[in-house]
Structure 1
Amino acid sequence: MSFMTRMTAAFKGEVRADELEAYRRAGGLVYTELERAEALRSRLAAEGVNLWHGPQAAAGQLLCTWNAFVLQAIGEHLLDADYAADPSTVGYVPQVTALQVDACFSQVENWVSRARQAAGNSRYLVENELLLPADLPEWAEASPCPLPHLKGMLAASRAIRQHAEVALGVFEQTVADADRHRPALERLRQLAAEAATTADYAEGLLDADPAPRMHEAIEQRLQRALEIYYHLGQLIAMPGLITGYKGPDVRQAVPPANLRVSDARNFDPWCLTDPQKRSFWQADPRAHQAIKEMWDYDPAPALTLRIQAEIDAARHNGAITFATDAQGKPFGSYYCCPFSAIYLVRRPVVIAGRALRAMQTFTLEVSAEDVPKGGPFKRELIVSSFRPTNEVDYCDPDGLHGD
């Protein structure tokens, strides 16, 4: 990129999009999966297969492919709209665009993987792993939202709408017992109409060259249209979900029920450790000492225990589960003391004041390592893409067990 491009982008507060472009290229495989899914949809229609009663793995393949396509389309259109609006900073985007594109692209691989697993294994049921329909990633915030960002959202809604309407038309043709499923079919048509109307209204506002104070109203409408289309495609793929579907508004993350830790002085010191690997760590003398030191330095054990209680409640309620790899094997515990479990979010939930979205993986990090140096005691959720490692960090505050 030229010196002038970098200078112009820096002046405007834009950030490099190199990594986003790499993820865009990698995510291009979505379109091959989309072709396969559309061929599958057409074949099922030709064979008269009703997805209410048809193979569930096929429904899972269609659903996962749809989600990957929507996420890829949103990310691509946001990038392209920004480049088109200002050719002088191609390769750079505003912070809000970078955050939103990254949030979308980061989920594409997981959905493509699940689509391929469903295509290759008739017994693979994605609904056993995640609560569906899944939600879009959390929306990045900016005030006002840049006009090119809004135009990118609009362009994405147009592309997604076209595929959604075709999918709905093909689906309706396969429902031989339409009378039996009439309420569900009408619900799908209602959702399609709501999304289309919301997007059309936003487009009308955009055509008027809106003032910055109007951007938020347009943004909210486009977000809602995209959220509905995302759900609509999933419901078309897996119509068994329609009965329990109550719309995007009621699926917002909410705090768990009030939890109380009655006695922070009498508890199992291993309660933060991954229960799947607890016996392993309990057999390690260094882990014993590290756990003891962590609790000795904790200035508010009740707060730490409350966070773990919220995690336990979320797992009990099905909002989260232990994360597994593509072969269904547990990820294992986090490499840092207290060796917490790694979790997969199945539906939106708030834990420790942090809103978590479906498909995210997270763990709880608690550490007193920096306390003797005057640093803070650390207790926080880490949301990341976790990978296997042989590294172990006992996070010992006194430095007695360093590697």
Structure 2
Amino acid sequence: MTDVSGKPTLMVRMAAKLKGEVRADTLESFRRAGGVAYAEMERAEALRKRLADEGANLWHVEPGVSSQLLCSWNAFVLQSIGENLLDADYSADPRTVGYVPPVTHTQVTDCFNEVEPWSSRARQAAGNTALDISTTVRLPADLPEWAEAAPCPLPHLRGMLAATRAVRQHAEVALGVFEASVEDADEHARDLQRLRQLAAEGSTAADYAEGLLEADPDPNLHEAIEERLQRALEAFYHLGQLTAMPSLVARYDTGQVAAAPAQKGGAAPKLATPDSSAFDPWCLTSPLERTKWRKDPRAHQSIKELWEFDPDPAATLRIQDQIDAAESAGMITYAKNGSGTTLGSYFCCPWGAIYSVRRPVTINGRRLRAGQQFTYEVDADKVPKGGAFVRRLIVGTFAPTTDIEYCDPDGEHEF
């Protein structure tokens, strides 16, 4: 609701302030300007149809053609995500139209900021069939980093779901048209299988998230829904790029970590569960700081309670197994500050290591990008009160702190 000047009324501003929301004026300006992405997408779809009618195989077209399709796709996806996030928030509470939560503002800003460069590249490729965008931009491109919020607001999740639906429909149609145009399918059988696998990965994550969102889910489920929607959008974003420029498929790296090397006797090493005599209760703690924490009696009690309240230790250890495998493979390393000093452990029990990503890697279904920092949070504090046991990757920028948080499922956190 606005006054005659077009500015939000006092009631709207007060309601937004109470909800901790921020103005979206700039985002609305970028939304209007970003409409060019849809025009580029229409041109790309017309080009795709013409190529299909001519029986053209995208493995053998001029680089500018593939570049135009790819860049138009990226601009369309980014514009769609931004618009759906805004619209979902406005629909959820018409009293605060024009204002959005900080997490939504950050995410929409990051998406809209990339629409113009991709739209420009699409137009350049349309005017120059020799332009090969893969020589100047790392492809397939990743979506902007996901903004963090705990828990993620429900309207934000519904906006992500709406964007997923729109992007999925176009990606699956593009894949179908692409498959129909491949005459030398035997030669490209492995690549086609990889594309189908990626489509299945995205659709499964999307379907699962949609099922969880059919009713208003418990806030404890928000993170699980958010992770699946992120995974779906990332999969479809890559799928659209790979079908536009299939030469990328052969070197497409999902970042999935390989199994650990086999030991003598052939069994692949993995972390032992609490019912095994080989179990190490400190296996989640940073190897660089285990000696320190083992000397702390309160840390001993915290670690003990953490495992006692873990409803599925094997699930907890599977994620740590993936982290350990990625570290062994050199895909991640222990994070350091600007002076080269290792950051050490996270401040919460079980005091896991803080890592820096050296090259793209997927851990627990989450794709991490080179340069990101993350840690593995495991928390049992809410379990006695009916809350969920927490297993999640925290991505962010970490700094030293003197705070210490012990596991205390029966009471308040201790520092």
1:22 to 29, 52, 56: 29
2:177 to 170, 178, 187: 170
Supply the distance in 1 between the matched residues of 2:335 and 2:22 (Cα, whole angstroms): 42
**How far off its partner does 1:53 sit?**
1.2
Describe how 1:130-141 pairs up with structure 2 within 5 A.
130-141=137-148
2:16 to 9, 17, 31: 9
- 2:128 maps to 121
- 2:164 maps to 157
1:191 to 162, 187, 198: 198
- Taking a change above 3 Å as real, the CA distance of residues 318 and 205 of structure 1, as seen in their structure-2 partners, is closer
Supply the distance in 2 between the matched residues of 1:349 and 1:242 (Cα, whole angstroms): 20
Does 2:246 align with 1:236?
no
Q: TM-score, normalised by structure 1?
A: 0.64
**How far off its partner does 1:208 sit?**
3.0
**How far off its partner does 1:193 sit?**
1.4
CA contact (8 A) 2:331 2:359 kept: no
- 1:385 maps to none
User: For residues 49-72 of structure 1, what are the alpha-carbon distances to aligned partners after superposition, in whole Å with 9 as ceiling and x for unaligned?
Assistant: 111111111001100111110000
Does 2:112 align with 1:91?
no
> In structure 1, what residue type is equivalent to 2:218?
A
Does 2:216 align with 1:209?
yes
1:38 to 45, 58, 78: 45
> In structure 1, what residue type is equivalent to 2:81?
I
Does 2:62 align with 1:55?
yes
Does 2:227 align with 1:220?
yes
CA contact (8 A) 1:255 1:350 kept: no
1:101 to 100, 103, 108: 108
Supply the distance in 2 between the matched residues of 1:217 and 1:165 (Cα, whole angstroms): 24
Supply the distance in 1 between the matched residues of 2:122 and 2:27 (Cα, whole angstroms): 23
Describe how 1:247-396 pairs up with structure 2 within 5 A.
247=254, 303=339, 348-350=369-371
> In structure 1, what residue type is equivalent to 2:205?
T
Supply the distance in 1 between the matched residues of 2:10 and 2:42 (Cα, whole angstroms): 41
- 1:391 maps to none
Which structure 2 residue ranges, 5 or more long, are not aligned? 1-7, 258-325, 341-357, 361-367, 375-415
**How far off its partner does 1:349 sit?**
3.0
Aligned sequence identity (%)? 63
- Taking a change above 3 Å as real, the CA distance of residues 158 and 57 of structure 1, as seen in their structure-2 partners, is same
- 1:401 maps to none
**How far off its partner does 1:318 sit?**
12
2:186 to 179, 191, 201: 179
User: For residues 150-171 of structure 1, what are the alpha-carbon distances to aligned partners after superposition, in whole Å with 9 as ceiling and x for unaligned?
Assistant: 0000000000011011111111
> In structure 2, what residue type is equivalent to 1:103?
D
> In structure 2, what residue type is equivalent to 1:30?
A
User: For residues 6-60 of structure 1, what are the alpha-carbon distances to aligned partners after superposition, in whole Å with 9 as ceiling and x for unaligned?
Assistant: 0000010000000000000000011110010001111111111111111111001
Cα RMSD for the two superposed structures: 3.0
Between 1:54-63 and 1:177-186, the stretch displaced more is 177-186
2:86 to 63, 67, 79: 79
Q: TM-score, normalised by structure 2?
A: 0.62
Aligned partner of residue 243 in structure 1, secondary structure: helix
CA contact (8 A) 2:89 2:156 kept: yes
- Taking a change above 3 Å as real, the CA distance of residues 110 and 318 of structure 1, as seen in their structure-2 partners, is farther
CA contact (8 A) 2:62 2:130 kept: no
1:145 to 148, 152, 155: 152
Supply the distance in 1 between the matched residues of 2:334 and 2:61 (Cα, whole angstroms): 42
Which structure 1 residue ranges, 5 or more long, are not aligned? 261-299, 305-316, 320-346, 355-403
Question: Aligned pair count?
Answer: 277
